[in-house]
Amino acid sequence: MTRIGIGIVGGGYMGKAHAVAMSAVGAVFDTALRPTLEVICTTTAEGAAQKGRQFGFARATADWRVLVDDPAVEAVVIASPQETHRDIALAALARGKHVFCEKPLGMGLGESREMVAAAAKSGCVNMTGFNYIRTPASQLAREIVAAGELGDITYFRGEHTEDFLADPELPASWRTEGRANGNMGDLSPHIINATLALLGPVKSLIADIETVHSTRSSPQGPVAVTNDDQAQIMCRFANGAMGSLFISRVATGRKMGYIYEIFGTRGALRFDQEDQNALWLYKGDAKPDRQGFTKILTGPLHPDYQPFCLGPGHGTGYQDQIIIEAKDFLQAIATGKPAWPTFEDGMLVNQIIEAAWKSHEERRWIDVASV
């Protein structure tokens, strides 16, 4: 059994998820590499020490440079705010350490391009965190589309909708400051990644982006919201199919509306993350009295399900998505083969976000490759 030292930057929601995943992945998937939790970094020494005890790390620090320089850390997981992604990744890659970086890849297209170049120069394994596409149901959807079971794809509709800022009385916070923390910076990467995974490259798009609640309360009085609440995008794929995306953090009633529908000449499918253990499939060749969408419950015959559970329909959860990511990251390190999505895939997501903003500002269709 070969050990690999892990350092995680960030001890919040995602930092905890990755710590749990690295602790569990060996037992779940019997990986060739077995992680050891070496160093965790959070914003304060006291906080880092507390998270280190809670998650089981050998050491803790408030300085990510200490983590990156630690000789026992062979792979770095970046689960800190996006403004830190570039500097940490570049430092780790320069030291020959493998890097898993949570989405989005840096503060925008420029930073993500720097990170892609650094990763290519280092030769290290690099991976961007898009966990939702790794559910067994979405992996099955990718297989169905790739196998041509739906025929020629004619249309794709995707959305990522939540309602955590739907209430106009909610106060201002970091989420309402700066473009990178807005709806397009925070929520859109997931569904854009799914769009690319399922349909392939986007050739052109037109977008409309808006701030629904322009001010929020604060102890100092009303303050301006400096980022977006929702967006709609129409697009044309390189394969000729049409598509549309809707992304919103003010979609009242939606808690995890990561949804897509795909229509083809011989069939269709649809998925909703709020029911993540099911995929709905329509087969165009069914008898007329048997036509309609059929609910497929995920089970041991579907990708990455059986290691968690032997019973069909019992289901997997959010944390399991992160464990699957950890397995793929470790496997890439063990084999030397890239694991999708790489930094380049994360950059392509940022390219579409940049094109959407350009379209919104110039009020016209944009060729994505020109951005």
Over residues 346-361, the pLDDT tens digits come to: 999 999 999 999 999 9
Closest CA to 126 of 347, 335, 332: 332
Could you tell me if 140 and 298 are in contact, meaning their C-beta atoms sit under 8 angstroms apart?
A: yes
Distance CA 335, CA 160 (A): 34
**Cα distances (angstroms) measured from residue 61 to each of 20, 21, 47:** 19, 21, 9
Same domain, 153 and 220: yes
List the CATH number of the domain containing 24.
3.40.50.720
pLDDT of 1 strictly over 90: no
The answer to whether position 81 is within a domain reads yes
Clarify whether residues 193 and 118 are in a common domain: no
Name the domain count of the chain.
Answer: 2
Specify whether the CB–CB gap between 322 and 20 falls below 8 A. Answer: yes
| 327 belongs to a structural domain | no
175 in Cβ contact with 150 (< 8 Å): no
Q: Note the pLDDT tens digit of each residue in 157-183.
A: 999 999 999 999 999 999 999 999 999
Say whether both 250 and 118 belong to one domain.
no
Residue 238 is predicted with a pLDDT of 98
The encoded tokens of residue 185 equal 């910076």
Q: Are 180 and 83 in contact (CB under 8 A)?
A: yes
Q: What is the pLDDT of residue 164?
A: 98
pLDDT tens string 114-148: 999 999 999 999 999 999 999 999 999 999 999 99
What is the DSSP secondary-structure string of 4-18?
EEEEEE--SHHHHHH
Q: Are residues 17 and 143 in the same domain?
A: no
> Closest Cα to residue 354, out of 106, 78, 159?
106
Give tens-digit pLDDT for 6-30.
Answer: 999 999 999 999 999 999 999 999 9
Q: In whole numbers, what is the pLDDT of the chain averaged over residues? A: 97
**Stretch 84-95: mean pLDDT, rounded?**
98
Q: Supply 247's token pair.
A: 């992304």
Residue 206, domain extent: 136-314+348-362
pLDDT digits (tens, 9 = 90+) for 197-232: 999 999 999 999 999 999 999 999 999 999 999 999
Q: Are 258 and 190 in contact (CB under 8 A)?
A: yes
Predicted pLDDT of residue 266: 97
* C-alpha to C-alpha distance for 194 and 162, rounded to whole angstroms: 17
CB 195 within 8 A of CB 188: no
State pLDDT tens for residues 275-291.
999 999 999 999 999 99
Domain final residue, candidates 105, 130, 155: 130
Spatial CB neighbours of 261, under 8 Å, sequence gap ≥ 6: 155, 156, 157, 158, 268, 269, 270, 271
Name the domain boundary from 108, 130, 152.
Answer: 130
326 domain residue, yes or no = no
Q: How far apart are CA 369 and CA 80, in angstroms?
A: 30
The CATH number of residue 235's host domain is 3.30.360.10
Can you give the pLDDT at residue 190? 98
Which pLDDT score is estimated for 325? Answer: 98
Task: Please tell me whether residues 36 and 160 are part of one structural domain.
Answer: no
pLDDT score recorded for residue 244 = 98
Over pLDDT 90: what percentage of the chain? 100
On whether both 122 and 150 belong to a single domain, the answer is no
pLDDT tens readout for residues 244-264: 999 999 999 999 999 999 999
Q: Which two tokens stand for residue 139?
A: 């992996």
> CA-CA distance, 14 to 189, in Å (whole number)?
16
Instruction: With H, G, I as helix, E, B as strand and everything else as coil, classify residue 216.
Output: strand
Residue 275: how many CB atoms within 10 A of its CB? 15
Q: Phi and psi (nearest 5°) for 126?
A: -135, 140
Tell me what the mean pLDDT of segment 88-107 comes to: 97
Express as a percent the part of the chain with pLDDT over 70: 100
Q: 45-68 burial, b for 16+ CB within 10 Å, e for fewer?
A: eebbbebbeebebebbbeebebbb
How far CA 19 is from CA of 5, 158, 270, 288, in Å, comes to 12, 30, 32, 51
Do 255 and 357 lie in one domain? The reply is yes
Is residue 14 in some structural domain?
Answer: yes
